C-alpha cells in the first residue's frame, strides 16, 4: 500500500508541474503581448506576478519579437526536488507589425 501511495503522489506532483508550466507560459505570452503593445515593463511584470505569483522574469528580443521568460520553483510535492519550472512567450513588436497602416 505505501508503494501505491508513493506512485500516486509522484503522479499528482507531475500533473501539478505540467499545470504550473502551462500557467507560466500563458502569463509569459500575455506579458510579451503587453510589452509589444508598448506597455511599460513594470506594468507587464506586475500583471504577470499577479497571475502566477513570485517569479523570475527575463525580457529579451529576437529580431522583431519581444520574448518573456518566467522561472518559478516547482509547487506542491515537486518542491522537494528543487525543480525549476519555466514558461516562455513571444510577440511581434509594434514597430515590426506595420503600424503605419497600408494595404496588405
Inside any domain, residue 45: yes
The pLDDT value recorded for residue 100 is 42
Q: Please classify residue 16 by burial: count the beta carbons closer than 10 Å to its beta carbon, then call 0-12 exposed, 13-18 middle and 19+ buried.
A: middle
Query: What pTM does this model have?
Result: 0.80
In a domain, 100, yes or no: no
Residue 102 in any domain: the answer is no
Q: Is residue 54 part of a domain?
A: yes
In a domain, 75, yes or no: yes
Per-residue model confidence (pLDDT) at position 83: 87
Spatial strand order in the sheet of 84-92: 56-62, 65-73, 84-92
DSSP notation for 34-91: HHHHT--HHHHHHHHHHHHSS-EEEEEEETTEEEEEEEEE--GGGGGGT-EEEEEEEE
Q: Is residue 19 part of a domain?
A: yes
Residue 99 has pLDDT above 50, yes or no: no
The residue segments making up the domain with residue 77 are: 2-95
Q: Are 24 and 30 in contact (CB under 8 A)?
A: no
Count of domains in the chain? 1
Amino acid at each position: 500500500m505505501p508503494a501505491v501511495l508513493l506512485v500516486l503522489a509522484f503522479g499528482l506532483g507531475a500533473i501539478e508541474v505540467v499545470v504550473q508550466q502551462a500557467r507560466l507560459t500563458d502569463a509569459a505570452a500575455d506579458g510579451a503581448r503587453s510589452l509589444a503593445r508598448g506597455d511599460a515593463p513594470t506594468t507587464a511584470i506586475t500583471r504577470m506576478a499577479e497571475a502566477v505569483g513570485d517569479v523570475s522574469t527575463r525580457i529579451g528580443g529576437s529580431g522583431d519579437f519581444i520574448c518573456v521568460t518566467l522561472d518559478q520553483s516547482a509547487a506542491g510535492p515537486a518542491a522537494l526536488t528543487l525543480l525549476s519550472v519555466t514558461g516562455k512567450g513571444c510577440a511581434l513588436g509594434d514597430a515590426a507589425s506595420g503600424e503605419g497602416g497600408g494595404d496588405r
